[in-house]
Amino acid sequence: MTRRRSSYRSLRSLQRDVRACRACVEAGFPLESLPVVHGHEGQLAYILGQAPGWVEGEERRPWRGRAGGTLRRWLDMDEDEFYGTFYCASVTRCYPGRSPGGRGDRTPTPREQELCAFWREWELRLLRPGLVVTVGGLAARRLLGLVRLGECVGRRFTYGDAVAIPLPHPSGASGWLNDPANRALVAEAAALVRDELDRLRGAGPLSPSAPSIRRRTGTDT
């Protein structure tokens, strides 16, 4: 049974409840895995994707499939550096199953996204990361309110006290990356992520030129 406390004082207790969460199943949605949770206190950055794929759902570890390999190549990171740097989360935490149309995975419904937002909000409150990276259009919309990838990839924003940098989803199911101009934006965004991580490691000042995104609290809609 899903348990949600009114407040959390530790990441460990939050993760224990996330791993046992069945809120979407209890609401009647057909999920094909248990929640995927991966990260620990003290990490520099928070990365938010859409939902686990079938490989991630099977292993219960994020970014294990082909898209994860592409993402790490963009960021020029091996697995140890990637998982050591990023607290990995997603808009919804369970593998949602294949799309009814047969291409790619099913996009979580707005209600599923709302049910899972509780965990994200508490993670961000407890972790207070210096950098937030969104991966894919859904994550950019839900967390930052950004609509068009072409207007936000390659740019840096602020989200509360954190820098936020959007990336597209590295899945082959998206045609957005077929355009060479968009691939150039990805290279710019990845460079921004690496630069920001270097800044955080050196605790340098935040650039005042980054557009601000208001931090949301509570369950978003």
Model confidence over 114-124: pLDDT tens digits?
999 999 999 99
Q: How many helices (H) and strands (E) does the chain have?
A: 8, 6
Laid out side by side, the sheet with 212-213 consists of 86-90, 45-49, 131-135, 162-167, 157-159, 212-213
- The mean per-residue pLDDT over the stretch 68-73 comes to 97
What backbone phi and psi angles, to 5 degrees, belong to 49? -100, -165
Residue-wise pLDDT for 80-104, tens only, equals 999 999 999 999 999 999 988 777 8
pLDDT in tens, 171-209: 866 789 999 999 999 999 999 999 999 999 995 545 445
CATH class (in words) of the domain with range 26-213: alpha beta
b/e burial code for range 152-174 (CB count within 10 A of at least 16 → b): bbbbbbbbbebbbbbbbbbbeeb
3 state DSSP class of 89: strand
Question: What pTM does this model have?
Answer: 0.90
In angstroms, rounded to a whole number, what is the distance separating the alpha carbons of residues 119 and 138? 17
With a cut of 50, say whether residue 216 has pLDDT above it.
no
Q: Treating both helix axes as pointing N-terminal to C-terminal, what angle do 66-75 and 180-202 enclose, rounded to 10 degrees? A: 70
Helix 110-127 and helix 11-19, axial crossing angle in degrees, nearest 10: 160
